Every structure is written in C-alpha cells, then in structure tokens.
C-alpha cells in the first residue's frame, strides 16, 4: 500500500465517523427535545408559569360563573315584537323551553383592563318560542305532500281554493291542475266539466280464416273411385288374421305413363352354354321392339369382364335398335374359367341421383350359378340392396331348375321386382316379352300405404315395407298383404308419385263381403315372413334365421334361398 492509498483510507474513516456522530445527535435531539426547554416545572415561581395559570383560571371562572344581572347603566335588551303564529297543521306544536342566556366570550385580558371597561354585556333570547318558518325565504317553503289519485278518462272537475303563501302562517298549497292525457294517435284530451260525447262502438269484423289449399294447389289428385278392391282373409293358428287386399285399376283409368330407363344385363359366363346364350340374345332383340319412344335402354354383357353398348342410355328408335343388334352379334361365350360377378354390373345400373319423373329398371338374364357362393349371395342380397335403396327395380329371367333360382328371386323381391322363369331356353323369348308388357306402362312410383282401423283394439300391419313396395302399373293388379287382430273395418290410404303430381287413393275396407283364402294365401304369407328372416340373416349372419325360414317354406315346396 502506497502513501496515497493510505491517505484515502484515513479520509474515508473520518467521513464515516462524522456521519455516524451526526446521525446519533439528530436522534437524541428528536427524542429528548424537552430536556433543552427553559421551562422548569420544579420552579413554579417563574413568570411564564404564572401567566399560563392565570389564563386558565379566568377561562374557567367565566364559563362556570353565575349569570350576571344587568345594572341600570347596562343598555336595555333588544327584544323583537311578540308574535302569536298559528301552528302548522302538518307539524305538532313546539314545546316551550325555559329561558336561557347566551354569553359571549372574548379573549382574556389582564385584570386591570377588565376592571376599567365595566361589566360584559349579555343577550337573552325571547321568552316566546321561535318560529323558524317566519325567517325562511318563501321559495324554500315546501307544502306537505298531497295524496295522489290516478286520473280517470272522464273525471268530474272538483273546485279548489286559491291560497297564498304567508310568511307568518303557512297554509296548505293548492292542488295543481291535472295534466293533459295524450295517446299514441297524438290527440290530447283536456279534462273539463263538460259532458264527454262517447263514440259508438265500431262493429267487430270477423277474422278471415285461412283458406285451405285445394288438391290442385298441392299438386295432388284423388283416384279413389278409379280402383276396385278385392279382399280375402284367413285365420291363423295364433288367432290373428292374415289378408290379401288387391287394388284393381278400372279400364277407364286415364293416367300418363312414366318413362323408363331399361338396363339389360346378360350373363355370358361358360356355365350359360351356347344355346341358352343365343336364345337370350334373340329374346332381347324382340323385347327391345316392345319399348315405347319415351323409354331409353342400354345393354351390359358380363362374366369377369364387363362390356356396354353405350356409355349413356339410348332412345328407342330404328337406328339404336340396329346398333343393339350389331352389338349382340359380337357377344361370345366366356372362357371356361370366366366366372360371373353379379355385383359389379348391377352396381353400374344405380344412378347417382334418381330423377323423380323416370323409373330405372334392370332386367338380369342369368343362370344364378355364381350365387352358390355365400360371399356372392350376400353381396347381392345385402351390399347391393343397401346401396340401391330402392332406386332401381330389379327383375330377373331364369329357367326352371337353375341351381340358385330361389336366391335370385329373393334378390328381386328385396328390390321392388319379380322373377320370371321359363321351362326351357326356347321359352325365354316369350317370358321376356311378357315381362316387358307387364311393366310397360307405370302410372305411379314410390308407393306408400297406411291402414287405420275403425276399432281402437285392432292392430293392422301391412307388407311389404316401403323400400320393397313395387310400382303401380296400368292394367296390373296391385296386391297388399296384411295381418290384423280382429275383422273390424278399416280405411286404406295409398299415395304414389306420377310425372308432376301425387295420386291419393282412399278406400273403406270391410270384411263383411270378404272371401276366405286358402293355400295360395298361406303360401304368400309364408314367403313374406321368410323374406324378413333372410333380411335379418344377411345383416347379422345368425343361422337361426335360416332354420326358421326353412320351417316356414318346407310345407309349400319352396326352395330355400340360403343354406
């Protein structure tokens, strides 16, 4: 450490000691400042102490001394004239208190100065009670609140008195005039003492009831009188009744035909055989001539491959029929290993968006050989049926003795269609032409029906369900199956869609003149119950459904659709 650093250390220490000493001194003076005062209580003879004691004695003597009576030299007291005001009605009479004196204090002076000035003057309040209302400004006096009554439309004007406000004796304020009553139509009504002329009540006009739309407005037509009915019934072992109700259109029924889009699917797999394939092509050429000019058609040929006549459906005319004939001449039987797949060609028949004024119909010509495999049968009965959702009506043409024709028939019934079978390949042309003539003139599509019994105890169920109901065709009877608890009358409602409107059919059904059914009705009812069991099986694959279906169909020599 050099000399310069040593001096800095000494200087820093001195500064720190000085700061500490001054801080201690300030603390002592702040806490014990009275020690340095010149007032010593131990010495009561000092003049400062005597002055303080004298001042305190004079203040106490003046405050607690008795009242001084004014001497003759004292000027008389200033008294205000006596007033006898009438007390307010809204307030109780004030209580007179005893007289009191109000002393005025002044700053103390030495005894010599007080003796030279004489006695201190005093003032006394008047003996009568002081009425403060006399000395208040008039604009500050508020009248007691009046009881408010709601105004009426036709009040009787009451007289009122005018009162003026007096300072000495306040009185009740007069009632303010009632305000004008103004309504929303901006017509003021003044309340006067004249008689009010009331107007005669306006006549009440009846509220116009909403006008119900007509059938024409709803684009609906009633055809209840253009259909006849035929009813047969049969009692079952469980006590319920099964019936078949047939709607028969009259010959004078005049309804426009709905155009159709036909898709013919030809199975050319090796199991078909050449003779049957030739008979199928000949039958198809004949069936095309039965189509109307409004209809369209297309041809799909398939085995494990698919060929189409055209990308889009073709109209029915001479040119397109010639093109169809040339296309059919090119069709050859498939190879020995070429198996048919029904799902893929049927998938092409389903439109993405079904038109409301067109019926899509698919006619399948096959030997149903590929339906012997459970995956193929389930793909047709469940997968394609679910995808189709009733957009395409599926009809099929086969030959008696085909191995899996029952499965093919079940697929058509699931999709609003029907199976036609011929005894031999030569009979295919006749059956196909009959099929075309049967569905030649559709007059209503997407039919729904409902039965309402006249008895609350009866429960009626109708079959088939909405997704399986076939369309209504001209000159073709329409059969509805049902089951009921009792033979009470009921009302049948049927509704369907035609080109540009809906048709409604309402029929009152009675069992009085109904005929008793026999074995054909039992057979149809057993088939309907079996269809429901098949539908459950393809959904959950429970084998018990197939056992129950087989028990229903065996008494009527039905071939079981699924094994």
Cα dihedral 305, 309, 314, 316 in deg (nearest 10) = -120
Whole-number pLDDT of residue 13: 85
Distance between CA atoms of 382 and 385, rounded to whole angstroms? 5
What distance in Å separates the CA atoms of residue 363 and residue 412, rounded to the nearest whole number? 10
Q: Is 113 helix (H, G, I), strand (E, B) or coil?
A: helix
Q: How many residues does the chain have?
A: 563
Residues 6+ apart with CB under 8 A from 524: 244, 481
Structure tokens given for 526: 């057993």
- For 138-153, letters b (16+ CB in 10 Å) and e give eeeeeeeeeeeeeeee
Distance of CA 79 to the CA centre of its chain: 88
CA 561 to mean position of chain CA atoms: 46
Tokens of 62: 């003046």
Tokens of 381: 């009965």
The architecture in CATH of the region 260-440 reads 3-Layer(aba) Sandwich (3.40)
Cβ–Cβ < 8 Å for 278, 377:
no
Report the C-alpha gap between 38 and 406 in whole angstroms.
Answer: 137
Distance CA 74, CA 119 (A): 8
Name the CATH superfamily housing domain 220-253+446-517. Answer: Gamma-adaptin ear (GAE) domain (2.60.40.1230)
Domain residue spans of the chain: 220-253+446-517, 260-440
**What's the pLDDT score for residue 69?**
44
Work out whether strand 419-422 and strand 442-453 pair parallel, antiparallel, or are unpaired: unpaired
pLDDT average per 10 residues of sequence, the chain (563 residues): 76 88 80 51 50 62 53 45 46 43 42 47 50 56 57 47 45 48 45 50 61 59 91 95 94 87 95 93 96 95 94 95 95 84 93 86 95 90 94 96 94 96 95 95 92 92 91 93 95 90 93 94 95 94 94 91 82
The pLDDT value recorded for residue 81 is 47
- pTM score, whole prediction: 0.63
- Residue 251 confidence (pLDDT): 80
Fold match, 220-253+446-517 / 260-440: no
What is the rounded radius of gyration, in angstroms, for the C-alpha atoms of the chain? 60
Q: Is the peptide bond between 464 and the residue preceding it cis, with omega within 30 degrees of 0?
A: yes
């Amino acid at each position: 450490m050099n000399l310069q650093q040593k001096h800095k250390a000494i200087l820093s220490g001195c500064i720190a000691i000085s700061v500490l000493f001054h801080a201690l001194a300030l603390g002592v003076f702040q806490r014990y400042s009275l020690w340095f005062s010149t007032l010593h209580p131990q010495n009561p003879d000092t003049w400062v102490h005597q002055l303080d004691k004298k001042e305190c004695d004079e203040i106490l003597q003046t405050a607690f001394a008795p009242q001084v009576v004014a001497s003759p030299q004292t000027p008389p007291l200033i008294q205000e004239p006596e007033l006898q005001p009438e007390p307010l009605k809204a307030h109780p009479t004030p209580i007179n208190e005893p007289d009191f004196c109000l002393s005025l204090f002044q700053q103390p002076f030495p005894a010599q100065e007080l003796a030279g000035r004489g006695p201190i003057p005093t003032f006394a309040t008047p003996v009568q009670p002081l009425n403060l209302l006399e000395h208040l400004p008039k604009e500050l006096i508020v009248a007691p609140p009046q009881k408010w009554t709601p105004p009426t439309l036709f009040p009787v004007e009451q007289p009122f008195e005018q009162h003026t406000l007096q300072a000495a004796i306040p009185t009740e304020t007069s009632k303010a005039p009632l305000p004008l009553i103004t309504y929303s139509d901006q017509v003021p009504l003044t309340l006067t003492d004249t008689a009010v002329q009331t107007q005669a009540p306006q006549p009440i006009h009846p509220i116009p009831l909403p006008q119900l739309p007509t059938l024409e407005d709803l684009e609906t037509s009633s055809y209840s009188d253009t259909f006849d009915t035929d009813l047969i019934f049969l009692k079952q072992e469980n006590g319920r009744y099964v019936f078949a109700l047939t709607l028969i259109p009259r010959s004078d029924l005049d309804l426009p035909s709905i155009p159709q889009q036909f898709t013919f699917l030809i199975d050319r797999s090796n199991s078909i055989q050449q003779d049957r394939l030739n008979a199928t092509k000949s039958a198809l050429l004949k069936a095309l001539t039965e189509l109307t000019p409004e209809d369209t058609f297309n041809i799909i040929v398939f085995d494990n491959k698919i060929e189409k006549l055209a990308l889009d459906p073709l109209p029915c005319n001479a040119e397109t029929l010639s093109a169809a004939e040339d296309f059919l001449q090119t069709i050859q039987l498939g190879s020995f290993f070429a198996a048919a797949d029904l799902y893929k060609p049927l998938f092409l028949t389903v439109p993405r968006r079904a038109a409301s004024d067109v019926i899509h119909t698919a006619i399948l010509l096959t030997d149903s050989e590929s339906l012997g495999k459970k995956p193929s049968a389930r793909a047709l009965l469940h997968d394609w049926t679910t995808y189709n959702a009733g957009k395409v009506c599926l009809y099929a043409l086969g030959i008696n003795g085909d191995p899996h024709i029952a499965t093919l028939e079940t697929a058509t019934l699931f999709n609003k269609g029907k199976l036609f079978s011929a005894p031999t390949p030569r009979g295919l042309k006749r059956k196909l032409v009959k099929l075309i003539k049967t569905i030649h003139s559709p007059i209503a599509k997407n039919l729904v029906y409902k039965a309402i019994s006249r008895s609350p105890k009866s429960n009626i169920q109708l079959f088939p369900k909405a997704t399986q109901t076939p369309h209504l065709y001209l000159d073709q009877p329409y059969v509805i199956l049902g089951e009921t608890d009792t033979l009470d009358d009921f009302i049948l409602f049927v509704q369907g869609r035609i080109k540009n409107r809906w048709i409604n059919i309402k029929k009152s059904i009675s069992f009085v003149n109904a005929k008793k059914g026999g074995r054909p009705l039992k057979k149809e009812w057993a088939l309907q119950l079996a269809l429901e069991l098949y539908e459950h099986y393809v959904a959950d694959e429970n084998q018990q459904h197939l056992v129950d279906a087989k028990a229903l169909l065996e008494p009527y020599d039905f071939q079981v659709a699924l094994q």
